[in-house]
Structure 1
């Protein structure tokens, strides 16, 4: 049975929008001295003309702004409604405005009212803009060549631990996921990220099948003589270049959206490793421009972002008022970043995925960072973090509705790249940060890189991919992206630096600023108090180091664990971390990119709380807590392996098998040398 072009709900929303626009224009005429009309019938005609002109003019504005660049897209968002309203008023005599600025104010009053009504009309249903996008693309879609081959959308819920998902399902706060499991036969299983449990290591493994070469979220590259940060465009491109064999998860006609790495996708949108700061994606700008040009698009996200900022400020104040501990500093800067990631970027990602599904794209991988962003600053088990997960459940319902209108059937596969652990910030708990502690123990010149930069990377990715061509607006967008990149860039390691200390969750990395790696014997000869001082600190559980004589070692306050043969002298420093910790650390310490010292914070034996070396109460990167407990939610017709999934590279093979099971990747050689 064919889907009707216009549904009853659509007619209701159009009618509600029309009535609201008319009432909003009447209100604007009452409060704006330069805006007036002769009769109410003229105002009704003006509202109708606004809807008609908008339908005709917006496509032209979208095309022009997307062609010119990012700044034009932004101006379209701010001024586009005023342009539409001005043109509409020219068609209706008797409705007048003294200036364009009066019209701009009237247009924003109308947009605010339309947003409120749209929210009321669509509460509990799929997002209004996505429904509009489905209707628009349905008019232009072409049949796909292989409609019998199901497509796959991999949805990454960044940082969601398996226990949190179980917890929320038991509380029945995730109706979409709960319905999929209860009625649709979906299966939820746990998988284990191998050290380090961070987005770059996990995404590289999931998308490219390789987990080596990434010792943390950021690290000192001895060959380059600088710090590599995975969410900086140039660094992400370098990391992917070293890892890819051309046969990534998305190599067979796939699309990467909002990821660090491309998975060898045919097309990449908002993907860090594929950003070109001098020339952004016109396709991305076109889609964003269409979104911004709609009253329920930009206005909806704009007012939603304001609401998110207000929500964040209220929640931060509530934590302080109730003296919730552990807690970190949550200022206005984070509130603005949260509004970008948890409203604008989430809406944009949903719109981009929806259009790819309507196009019939064979495979899509998208990363939603909402939970991870809030959990870092509020704590992974806190109400605001769980509420972010609830809103992602609504996104899944939206994608499910889009899939019903797509030109091919789709499977939605949900996964997280790692989990989250909670605990007080190391510097807050012990009165000194890791860099300061290393400086005290060595009297060396220490370059510290311990601030959290994940959110800045996401904002930089959005700006960079919207940058235009080499025009004034394109250069302005490029400049904005460069300023954001500078804000998140690590300090330069100078010749005066002796040690480089980096934080990656509760995992610290200590490097000598040299071209060669120092062994335990080298470190002991140069800074004899460093290793003993670290392992005997109350906030540190162990230090992992390479020994010339014994190979990789884990040193604790009362014992040593030799990783090559699991021989333990004294008390085993890895005893609190499970049977597999030894193998994880053996692989991590043996990597050429590994630091001279891995430093893992102490872990509370009762609560599982850790102490992050960054300014975060929710963290991931080391051992302890729920950070190494990822999740996979798969449809019933996609088989799960008989044994546990351990490592992102193993998960990559599981996902590739899903694609092959559905008829994908037939043209991709299994021999990397043939690529």
Structure 2
């Protein structure tokens, strides 16, 4: 026991030193390439890392409390600027440091890149630390009474077939699901979709028990001047839900996260049928995403990295002349990163927070990154209803 504690403590010390070193290197890189930032004496880089960490711990909760709506209305980008303000305040009191407008933006981003990179190479489970923040946040939201029954958590990996899932399990890339099956706490069963076999119709049936007249992802309504209706379109989804909802959906006492339809949830988060206005973007459940200054920076870096992966994939496919090949632009690369990274992280943080708070009976969350990439990878992944 003592030996394990010593090893754990030593690992923590070494990892912390690596994080500090990586951030110092990041600061010097900005000092070298930027004309708008000067670090001053060599020891200032170390002081900046320590002071910024303390300033983030003290100031970020204050900024977050009063500016949360601005952060969310700017889709998280506001948090990057707030962190830059924190960096400017911290660096202002360090003699020899000079930072202009671009400098106070560049240094925090480079430090975030360094931290994210170090987290990956040291195999540090960042989420274990962040989940402690979520737990503290959830306990503040928890109602005084304790429910005496279990809830139901439903997770949809959009577009994932059971055959592909089995292949992924066999390859060892889904170890948690594999563990659940091996320990016999869960079973794996196939499910045949209705027609049409796409997300809009399926979610309408699951969440509302009614997918009448949802014949495809897109369809033409002849009786409505040949208008094209799109299941996931923010202007069409609310109208579709009005037609299919009886007010007693599956999530009437639960939460809907990143779905097309709400299941009559009173707290729909990033749900298409409830996002038909800027005012509806804000939802207090999103507070869980911004509990510390670093989290959204990490998401932003992973977002940029996913764009790079997509561009690299396009170049490789072009050089190898892989056919058939769908035309994928930089716009798609951004959409892919949004679905595959940003929505994934936000959905996980919100769902985790709501589970820990324990105030809901049911939760249904959709992860759409797989579906988004699959549709642009091979023609055979597209369903009839979406062609």
Task: Name the TM tier (shorter chain).
Answer: 0.7 to 0.9
Cα contact 1:305–1:344 (8 A) shared by 2: yes
- Secondary structure at the aligned position of 2:110 is classed as helix
Partners of 1:109 and 1:163 in 2: CA distance: 41
Q: Distance in 1 between matches of 2:75 and 2:12?
A: 27
Q: SS of 1:367's equivalent?
A: strand
2:382 pairs with 1:619: yes
Instruction: Determine the structure 2 residue equivalent to 1:119.
Output: 120
Higher-helix-fraction structure: 2
- Give SS of 1:279's match: helix
Which digits, 9 at most, give the CA deviation of each residue in 1:41-97, with x for residues without a partner?
x543332221111112112222333234655565523322221111112343x2421
After TM superposition, give the deviation of residue 298 of structure 1 in Å.
2.6
Secondary structure at 1:233's aligned position in 2?
coil
Q: Shift of residue 171 of structure 1?
A: 2.7
Question: Residues 66 and 286 of structure 1 are in contact (CA less than 8 Å); yes or no, is this contact kept in structure 2?
Answer: no
Query: How many aligned positions are there?
Result: 376
Whether contact under 8 Å (2:76, 2:296) holds in the other structure is no
Among 334, 349, 357, which residue is 1:359 paired with? 357
Query: C-alpha displacement at 1:370, in angstroms?
Result: 1.3
Q: Which runs of 5+ in 2 are unaligned?
A: 1-7
**Partner SS state of residue 234, structure 1:** coil
- Other-structure match for 1:244: 245
Q: 2:59 aligns with which of 54, 57, 60?
A: 57
CA contact (8 A) 1:36 1:96 kept: yes
- Structure 1 SS opposite 2:48: helix
Q: 1:437-452 to 2 correspondence within 5 Å?
A: none
Confirm or deny: 8 A CA contact 1:155 1:367 kept in the other structure. yes
Quick one: distance in 2 between partners of 1:185 and 1:285? 29
**1:86-115 Cα distance to aligned partner (Å, 9 max, x none):** 1112343x2421523323322222222122
Aligned partners of 1:363 and 1:143: how far apart in 2?
A: 16
- CA–CA distance in structure 2, aligned partners of residues 73 and 346 of structure 1: 14
**Shift in Å, 1:208:** 0.7
Distance between the aligned counterparts of 1:204 and 1:78, measured in 2? 37
Normalised by the size of structure 2, how large is the TM-score? Answer: 0.86
Q: 2-side partners of 1:351 and 1:332: how far apart?
A: 27
- Report the Cα distance in structure 1 between the residues aligned to 2:231 and 2:299, rounded to whole angstroms: 28
Q: Whose radius of gyration is greater, 1 or 2?
A: 1
Q: Is 2:339–2:369's contact at 8 Å kept on the other side of the alignment?
A: yes
Residues 59 and 48 from structure 1, CA distance in 2 versus in 1: closer, same or farther, beyond 3 angstroms? same
CA contact (8 A) 1:62 1:289 kept: no
Match of residue 345 from structure 1: 343
Structure 1 match to 2:4: none
Q: 1:334 to 1:132 in 2, by over 3 A?
A: farther
1:193 aligns with 2:183: no
Q: Which runs of 5+ in 1 are unaligned?
A: 1-6, 380-421, 424-617, 628-675
Deviation at residue 129 of structure 1 after TM alignment = 7.3
TM-score computed with the length of structure 1 as normaliser: 0.51
Q: Which residue of 62, 76, 79 maps to 1:77? A: 79
**For 1:570-609, what aligned pairs fall within 5 Å after superposition?**
none
- SS across alignment from 1:37: coil
RMSD: 3.0
Which residue of structure 1 aligns with residue 40 of structure 2?
A: 37
Q: Does 1:256 align with 2:256?
A: yes
* Counterpart secondary structure, 1:366: strand
CA distance in structure 1 between the aligned counterparts of 2:182 and 2:100, rounded to whole angstroms: 58
